[in-house]
Amino acid sequence: MKKLFYSAAVALALCGWDARASLPQSGSVRVGPAAEDAAPEPAHAPPPKKDDRKNDKQAGAAKPQESARRPEPAPLSNSTAAASAPKTSDDSKSTSDAPARPGAPTGVPVGAPVRNTSGAEGAPEANKPAQAATAGVPPAGDPNAPAAPTAKPANPPPAVPPTEVYRIGIGDVLDIRLLNGKDPRQNTLYSVVAGGVLDYPLLRDPLTVAGMTTDELAAQLVAEFRHRGLYERPQVRVSVREYASHAVLVSGLVNDPGTKILRREAIPLYVVVAESQPKPEAGRAVIFSRATGKTVTVDLNDPASLNTLVQSGDVVTLTARPPEFFYVGGEIGSPGQKDFHAGLTLTQALLASGGVTKTAGDRVKVSRQGPDGRLVSTEYNLREIENGIAPDPALRPGDRVEVSTAARRK
């Protein structure tokens, strides 16, 4: 019985020794040309037994015969080598460490990139879209290359007309109402002091408000209150209670001269003239602009000229209109120098001069002196003007009107 146990233990020890000897061969992973070739034994493997040597000799003799019977496989191209390579998992790696046979095709490692041997003509299809995308792009640094399109600047917001806006100035009294406040008796009137500064109780420092509109000031106060955390949703309303910073000076032939307050950045001249109550003999307004330093003379009888804008700081002086004349001659009932007034037309001038004679023709020549002192003549057809075909031209002071004589019939 003891002998039986002893022989079984020896057999188990030999089997375990053989299993440990085969582990180094399966642990190293290499890709070879043929999986059937035997791998060389590791240096640390034990010497084989006699029976194993016999088996190896028989197997070595049989393998040349087997390889002779098996036909030589055709070499695969680089493009199909990777596709035809058998897929192996991480768990089972059946590979061989045997060296490649002479004349056998070189194996392609699994996962290695396939080289392109077809040259420029055999470019892969994947590169064609990139080549097509850059076909029309000129090389960098080409002087003939078209300039890159530049982004157009955004259109600025339209400017507000000066007749529709008012900017806060020194001396104005502002009505600032905080709608979140619970005390209705709280003071809401605050003056803009020297330097254009507003001293508001809820602000840490005085705020410069000169040049702001009421809407801009309200937005500034809301931002300050939110920054300081005074109110979660502050509501502020700002208006001008008393206007004092914008004014013009009116003098001359008026019944109410003096300083006139403006409630806009600019107002038409007729508003200032109407408030000043001009005298009957006033016929012109001389406007001196403080902003430009220029003087403009406006005829009070010209409606278009009364729309001239007056800004803060301007000086308006109303004067009498100097005598102006126009001159008429030719086939006219009362030729000579005639008084001129604004808006006088050609037909009105002819009627004021006694009308045309029976021998007058249809042609009327109007001569006007230009800036260089030379006369520029224009002819009009009186018959077309009277029939409404041509407009009735307006005359200017100093114009020369000459009515032609009708051609005599032979």
Whether 325-405 and 247-320 are alike in CATH topology: the answer is: yes
Could you give the CA distance from residue 219 to residue 259 in angstroms, rounded to a whole number?
32
CB 399: neighbour CB atoms within 10 A?
Answer: 21
pLDDT of 322: 85
Could you give the CA distance from residue 243 to residue 172 in angstroms, rounded to a whole number?
5
Pick the CATH number of 247-320 from 3.10.560.10, 3.40.50.720, 3.40.1310.30, 3.40.50.300: 3.10.560.10
pLDDT of 121: 43
User: Which class in CATH covers the domain with range 325-405?
Assistant: alpha beta
Domain residue ranges of the chain, discontinuous segments joined by +: 162-242, 247-320, 325-405
Alpha carbons within 13 A on the beta-carbon side of 223:
7
Q: Is 270 helix (H, G, I), strand (E, B) or coil?
A: helix
Q: SS3 letters for 35-102?
A: CCCCCCCCCCCCCCCHHHHHHHHHHHHHHHHHHHHCCCCCCCCHHHHHHHCCCCCCCCCCCCCCCCCC
DSSP of 355-380, one letter per residue?
Answer: -B-TTEEEEEEEEEE-TTS-EEEEEE
- Domain 162-242 architecture: 2-Layer Sandwich (3.30)
Q: Which residues, in sequence order, are CB contacts of 382 under 8 Å at separation 6+?
A: 347, 350, 356, 360, 362, 363, 364, 403
Could you give the CA distance from residue 32 to residue 108 in angstroms, rounded to a whole number?
9
pLDDT of 243: 96
Ranges of residues in the chain whose predicted pLDDT is under 50: 24-45, 49-52, 54-100, 102-137, 149, 151
pTM of the model: 0.50
Could you give the CA distance from residue 373 to residue 396 in angstroms, rounded to a whole number?
15
pLDDT of 145: 52
Beta bridge pairs of residue 189: 175
Long-range contacts of the stretch 283-289 (C-beta < 8 A, 24+): 283/319, 283/320, 283/321, 284/318, 284/319, 284/320, 284/321, 285/316, 285/317, 285/318, 285/319, 286/252, 286/316, 286/317, 286/318, 286/319, 287/314, 287/315, 287/316, 288/314, 288/315, 288/316, 288/317, 289/314
pLDDT of 298: 92
Task: List the one residue out of 18, 23, 19 whose CA is nearest residue 42.
Answer: 23
Beta bridge pairs of residue 375: 369
